[in-house]
Amino acid sequence: MSYPESAPARRPAAVLSAATVLLVMAVAALAYAVVDLVVLGATVDAFRSAARDTSAGPAQIDDVVTLLRVSAVLSAVVAALSAPLLGGLALGLLAGRNGVRVATWVVSGLGLLAGCCSVAVVVGERAAPLQLGSGEQSLAELLGLIGDAYPSWWIPLNAGLSVAQGLGYLVVATLLALPAANSWFGRHRSTTPTAPPMFPPAPH
């Protein structure tokens, strides 16, 4: 027994815009991961050069260099892993999957929180530098050189990307909550074919 299929509704502009924002954020995440690793080598060289004029020993310098490398690699890995996640969410939204929309709201909330935390960390480091005891003066000198070791545009870029990330997630979550998106995802739920009712055979 066949059932007539209604013509598929066009995706609303809100859904298309949300998917586009997610795809742009995925590309930006990949670009950030690449740039992060490219900048790392010059940053370490600049830090080692500046650290020679401090009272820190070679072991302390190596420890801070390790910290720089680990933090950069972790940031690049997180950015690289977020790219396919965002791309998959965008494709799921375009397919009209309501479960993907719910997952996108969850990811947007976590991403918005992470972006706010990143901005707070950058602002806090600039407003209130880390204070260490007198016995750790050499370590304080090294930590104070980290910001200057990066290119002059790197920290403002990170702050700008954190703000843009938070705004992007907020825009996506808002677009997916609009009435047009609600009706479109609701229509996809209602068009799921159901099996015809089964009747018991009539007694002879």
- 51-94 pLDDT, tens per residue? 888 888 888 889 889 999 999 999 999 999 999 999 999 999 99
Contact predicate 111/169, CB 8 Å: yes
For residue 102, pLDDT over 90 is answered with: yes
Structural domain boundaries enclosing 114: 98-125+159-180
User: Does 109 map to a domain?
Assistant: yes
How many folded domains does the chain comprise?
Answer: 2
Q: Exposure of 19 by Cβ count < 10 A (0-12 exposed, 13-18 middle, 19+ buried)?
A: buried
Q: Let me know if residue 133 belongs to a domain.
A: no
Please tell me whether residues 71 and 120 are part of one structural domain. Answer: no
Residue 188 falls within a domain, yes or no? no
In a domain, residue 6? The reply is: no
30 lies in the same domain as 67? yes
Distance between CA atoms of residues 54 and 43, nearest Å = 17
Residue 198 has pLDDT above 80, yes or no: no
Whether 103 and 90 share a structural domain: no
Residue 124: what pLDDT? 59
pLDDT tens-digit map of 157-178: 888 888 898 899 999 999 999 9
Residue 33 has pLDDT above 90, yes or no: yes
Q: What is the pTM of this model?
A: 0.78
- For residue 164 the two structure tokens come to 């843009």
What does pLDDT average to over the chain?
82
Considering the domain architecture, whether residues 89 and 102 belong to the same structural domain is answered as no
Distance, in Å, from the CA atom of 8 to the CA atom of 201, rounded to the nearest integer, reads 37
